[in-house]
Amino acid sequence: MSIYHLDKLLKPKSVAVIGASKKKGSLGELVVRNLQSLDFEGTILPVNPNYNSIYGLPCRQRVDELEPDIDLAVIATPIHTVPSILNACAENKIQSALVVADTRREIGEKRHVIEAEISRIVANSGIRVIGPNSVGLINTAAGLNISFASAMPNRGKLAFISQSSSIYTSALDMALLEQIGFSYYISAGSMADVDFGDLVDYFGNDKAVGSILLYLEQLKNPRKFLSAARAVSHFKPIVVWRPEQSMAGRHNTMADTAIEDIHGAVYDAAFDRAGIVSVSSIDELFNCAKLMAQQPRPRGKNLVVINNGSAPGLQTATAMVRCHMQPMALRPETMEALDRVLPPYWNRNNPINMLSGTDAKSYVGAVSACLNDKSVNGLLITMAPEAAISPTEVARRLVQTVKGARIPILASWYGGRDMEEGKALFNAAGIPTFRTPEKAIQAFSHLLEYNRNQEMRLEVPDKLNRGLNFNQEVAQTVLKKHDAHESSFLNIWEIKELLEAYGIPFVSTHPVKDEQEAIAAAETIGYPVAMKKQSIDASSFELTDGIELGLRTPADVHYALARMMADNNKTQPDDPAPPGVILQPYITRADYKLIFAIKKDPQFGPVLLFGMGGVLSLVFDKPSVGLPPLNRLLARRMMENSRASHLLRGYRNRPAADMEKLEEMLIRLAQISVDFPQIDQLLINPVIIKNGKVLALDAQIKLTSTRILSPKHLVISPYPKHQERIATTKDGRPLFIRPVRPEDVPLFVTFRESLSESSLYYRFFRNISEFTPRQLHLFTTIDYDREIALIALANIDKEEKMLGVIRILSHPDRKKGDFYIIVADAMQGQGIGSILLHTALDIARKQGYETIFGVVLPENEGMKNLSKKVGFQVKFNFDERVFDLRLDLDTHSDA
């Protein structure tokens, strides 16, 4: 349901407390007391058959005695009563519910039955629910505290969502101690309805939220979450802590040990793809929170550290290196300013070491000199205890010095009791303090990681030098033979056919039955050859011990085949179908051996792996992980995350690999995973590179039956090729209508040159001199779960040109959308706008949109006329001085 009715849940104006009580310490009593004693200005309605009033509030006996259309019901009753209470709430048109009842007290199947019933009620009624097992919901701006906490956190711009009740309560205590401000503080519970994706989506549209913190153990709906996070992280940092989980007990059917359990790495890859900053402890999470809540985000990576001892200076320098931060060199003017205020024995470097015996005046002077340097992007001030100087006085002076600073200021007054008062002064002034300088540097580096993520997202993927063609029909024919089986395995010839249909070259492979065929095949291949034993039905991934390498003569082939057959008779004497034997070229001295693989994750669907290949792959390299679909940029980054990338650049006498060919291989593999949900595991090991050529030497593929059709099995929506169309302009020019790709940035840049200032003003309602990198990224990096984006292309003067573009951006309910369209000036009047609009509306109707909206300036006659012809209602908005457009797709018949 996304963010439908979440306003009622998170910003209620009326709250019914079902299970309200006077019993001290009960949740029902605490909720009523918190709502009364804090700043909540809405209506409070207790419900409990055992009371006539609670704390002066009239108490209803039953839910059906409540007024209809109440925003929020808090359900604090035994869990077995919750389904009937939710039904009563839905009948009374209550919009949302917070279920603090705990299903975990129920044993075995009973718990699952109750949670399933809650989910069914939500689906049928439309009531929005947080919980069950939630321990709280806090909205500081609304004075709303429905939680076990009696104290309200400070107001701020952080939103925190926790999947754990213990982390929720302990982190809240930490936040109160550190004086960290929040806008929302939410315990998600079991997420029968509202989940991480819904809340991230909502907070992305809430101006009260500047950054989002998550404690996450497992995602209920990864596709929805990643879609929301990718959209929101463009402009609001998202920091997540997901603890490492034990891999014990998980079964892996792949024989090759390089494809081990990669579930944790998949989360990391997903977070990276969504632009999320990942931390590894609650300390790191709240250190980030302090910095984000109290200081501006750094605009660059230049951090300067000021300390009063050589050992602390060494510690901070080491911490910066560990966090992949290069200490900035101090500018000559800054050095001169520091020389005027520091003792002559200061170290003249960054970190700035003033050495012991430094007084408050020196601290103030050093800080002022750094603040005057516009190349400094952050300042960390540290102090170790000294007998001759008051840390409290230094802190008091510095609070005044840094007031209104344009850069983030961090402090680490590390020590015992003598430092506490100084830390309190910093915290009161909104300057985050850290137990050690290393913790401060780590927090700063996480915000730099967010900046890097955003910069990387603005990079434009290159187009491949040649188009990629996939013969899906051939591959589908191969796989259809196995559709009826619950689980099956392809034999080597089927694998070869499938891979080659997708352009992945596979080594020449010859099946043989006897010595005569074996020698003939070896002569055809050319010596030396490799002989491998293959199970005819390929009924498992277990590696056979039948492999003979480097056979150079007919005699070698003869003896190798004899040994292979003799071994089989010993191990499987009653097998009526002896294993087949294949011959392949024996390729020696490959420049590189690599692994390419697909593995289906239970939550994220198909996952791609890349790394070093061969028998020792796991010893030297752990495969990098990525999520389909891929383009060149994503494929390159996936390779760069593997240790293999260091070798692939060229090592000693080995030439550098052709990276574009490897990118192409990963893109082809990703397309296989997109097109065929039934592929459970696919391993190509090794893929060799020799003399610039790429060749797969061996592969294994396991299939499982599935009812999920492509692309619903993916967590990231792929390029919707089925939306491509061929059309014709009024003057007979052929048009190619297709969805937008990230590689289209150059087309958009050229398209801007074809637009007049008036055309741009009609589209953007303001003057646009040129498209910024951020705008180009938003125009071309499309989440097809959230929007429709089409461009019209034509060949003009032997060059592909973009002639028009249309977008439909969905509302949070995914039922409504806003459309925007623009056509090149020289091509207006050729029907391109009409073609784009009709095509987009057709797609919108198929995707379940109900209503499309638009806005047109009064002087834009062409757009008004087109809208009327298509069937839009066109009404003048006197307040905004624009024409509002509306089209109801269920009553509109598209021509």
The 10s digit of each residue's pLDDT in 12-26 is 999 999 999 999 888
Contact 37, 85 (CB under 8 A): no
Please check whether residue 140 lies inside any domain of the structure: yes
Nearest to 31 by CA among 135, 186, 158, 141: 135
End-to-end CA distance of the chain: 31
Question: What pLDDT shows up at residue 211?
Answer: 93
Total structural domains in the chain?
4
> How many C-beta atoms surround the C-beta of residue 406 within 10 A?
10
- Tally of CA atoms within 13 A in the half-sphere of 96 that contains its CB: 24
State pLDDT tens for residues 199-245.
Answer: 999 999 899 999 999 999 999 899 999 999 999 998 899 999 998 76
On whether both 357 and 226 belong to a single domain, the answer is no
Nearest to 1 by CA among 127, 171, 121: 127
DSSP 654: B
Nearest to 71 by CA among 103, 93, 87, 100: 93
Query: At a CB cut-off of 8 Å and minimum separation 6, what does 867 contact?
Result: 854, 856, 874, 885
Question: What pLDDT shows up at residue 537?
Answer: 46
Q: Which two tokens stand for residue 824?
A: 């090149």
On whether both 323 and 421 belong to a single domain, the answer is yes
Nearest to 759 by CA among 826, 808, 700: 826
Q: Give dist(CA 114, CA 82) in Å, integer.
A: 8
Determine which of 371-385, 587-601, 651-665 has the lowest per-residue pLDDT on average. 651-665
| Percent of residues, the chain, with pLDDT higher than 90 | 61
State pLDDT tens for residues 486-498.
Answer: 778 898 889 999 9
Please check whether residue 258 lies inside any domain of the structure: no
Nearest to 581 by CA among 548, 605, 554: 548
Q: Give dist(CA 58, CA 73) in Å, integer.
A: 16
Please check whether residue 824 lies inside any domain of the structure: yes
User: 663, 678, 704 — which closes off a domain?
Assistant: 704
Phi and psi at 777, nearest 5°, equal: -65, -45
Nearest to 537 by CA among 583, 573, 584, 489: 489
* CATH number, residue 653: 3.30.470.20
Please check whether residue 482 lies inside any domain of the structure: no
pLDDT beyond 80 at 642: yes
Question: What pLDDT shows up at residue 552?
Answer: 94
The SS3 of residue 318 is: helix
Give me the amino acid identity at 452.
Answer: R
pLDDT beyond 50 at 374: yes
Question: What pLDDT shows up at residue 387?
Answer: 77
Please check whether residue 502 lies inside any domain of the structure: no
Question: What pLDDT shows up at residue 357?
Answer: 67
Q: Give me the residues paired with residue 503 across strands.
A: none
What is the mean pLDDT of the segment spanning 626-641? 93
| Cis-peptide into 528, omega within 30 deg | yes
- Tally of CA atoms within 13 A in the half-sphere of 450 that contains its CB: 27
Determine which of 247-251, 482-486, 731-735, 848-852 has the lowest per-residue pLDDT on average. 247-251
Angle of helix 263-274 relative to helix 222-232, nearest 10 degrees? 30
State pLDDT tens for residues 773-831.
Answer: 889 999 999 999 999 999 999 998 888 999 999 999 998 778 899 999 999 999 999 99
Question: What pLDDT shows up at residue 616?
Answer: 56
Q: What is the largest CA-CA distance in the chain?
A: 101
Q: Give me the residues paired with residue 58 across strands.
A: 53
Q: Give dist(CA 140, CA 181) in Å, integer.
A: 9
Q: Give me the residues paired with residue 620 across strands.
A: none
- Residue listed under structure tokens 């259809």: 480
- The segment with the largest mean pLDDT, out of 89-93, 169-173, 537-541, is 89-93
On whether both 652 and 670 belong to a single domain, the answer is yes
- Residue listed under structure tokens 């080659």: 500
Question: What pLDDT shows up at residue 756?
Answer: 93
Q: Which two tokens stand for residue 386?
A: 């000294």
Q: Give dist(CA 466, CA 664) in Å, integer.
A: 10
* CATH number, residue 451: 3.40.50.261
What is the mean pLDDT of the segment spanning 78-83? 90
Per-residue H/E/C for 812-825: CCCCEEEEEEEECH
State pLDDT tens for residues 15-68.
Answer: 999 999 999 888 889 889 888 888 788 999 999 999 999 999 999 999 999 988
Please check whether residue 674 lies inside any domain of the structure: yes
What is the mean pLDDT of the segment spanning 135-142? 92
Query: At a CB cut-off of 8 Å and minimum separation 6, what does 213 contact?
Result: 158, 159, 160, 161, 238, 239, 240, 285, 288, 289
Q: Give dist(CA 577, CA 535) in Å, integer.
A: 9
Nearest to 297 by CA among 450, 434, 399: 450
On whether both 680 and 744 belong to a single domain, the answer is no
pLDDT beyond 60 at 260: no
Nearest to 713 by CA among 752, 657, 672: 672
Give me the amino acid identity at 599.
Answer: K
On whether both 272 and 147 belong to a single domain, the answer is yes
- Using DSSP, how many helices (H) and how many strands (E) does the chain show? 28, 37
Q: Give dist(CA 817, CA 815) in Å, integer.
A: 7
On whether both 178 and 56 belong to a single domain, the answer is yes
Distance of CA 763 to the CA centre of its chain: 31
pLDDT beyond 50 at 469: yes
Q: Give me the residues paired with residue 609 across strands.
A: 597, 625
Contact 369, 341 (CB under 8 A): yes
Nearest to 873 by CA among 847, 895, 853: 853
On whether both 774 and 872 belong to a single domain, the answer is yes
The SS3 of residue 753 is: helix
- Residue listed under structure tokens 């709240």: 286
Whole-model pTM: value is 0.89
* Average pLDDT across the chain, whole number: 88
State pLDDT tens for residues 419-442.
Answer: 999 999 998 898 999 989 999 999
User: 412, 440, 457 — which closes off a domain?
Assistant: 457
Nearest to 462 by CA among 635, 600, 315: 635
* CATH number, residue 824: 3.40.630.30
Question: What pLDDT shows up at residue 499?
Answer: 97
Quote the strand ranges of 535-628, DSSP E: 547-551, 580-585, 592-601, 605-612, 624-626
Nearest to 385 by CA among 373, 394, 376: 394
Question: What pLDDT shows up at residue 654?
Answer: 80
Query: At a CB cut-off of 8 Å and minimum separation 6, what does 388 contact?
Result: 357
Q: Give dist(CA 141, CA 261) in Å, integer.
A: 44
Angle of helix 472-480 relative to helix 492-501, nearest 10 degrees? 160
Please check whether residue 259 lies inside any domain of the structure: no
Confidence of residue 246 (pLDDT cuts 50, 70, 90): low
Please check whether residue 268 lies inside any domain of the structure: yes
On whether both 30 and 162 belong to a single domain, the answer is yes
| Percent of residues, the chain, with pLDDT higher than 70 | 93
Nearest to 556 by CA among 536, 578, 586, 534: 586
Question: What pLDDT shows up at residue 544?
Answer: 47
The SS3 of residue 497 is: helix
Give me the amino acid identity at 302.
Answer: N
User: 457, 482, 498 — which closes off a domain?
Assistant: 457
On whether both 52 and 130 belong to a single domain, the answer is yes
Question: What pLDDT shows up at residue 535?
Answer: 59
CA-to-CA separations, 211 to 200, 205, 235, 740, in angstroms, rounded = 10, 12, 9, 29
- Cβ neighbourhood burial of 63 (10 Å; 0-12, 13-18, 19+): buried
Q: Give dist(CA 316, CA 584) in Å, integer.
A: 57
The SS3 of residue 391 is: helix
| Cis-peptide into 629, omega within 30 deg | yes
Give me the amino acid identity at 164.
Answer: S
What residue numbers bound the domain in which 438 lies? 299-457
Question: What pLDDT shows up at residue 822?
Answer: 96
On whether both 648 and 725 belong to a single domain, the answer is no
Query: At a CB cut-off of 8 Å and minimum separation 6, what does 503 contact?
Result: 468, 469, 470, 664, 668
On whether both 846 and 872 belong to a single domain, the answer is yes
Q: Give dist(CA 261, CA 244) in Å, integer.
A: 13
On whether both 660 and 808 belong to a single domain, the answer is no
Q: Which two tokens stand for residue 356?
A: 């012991």
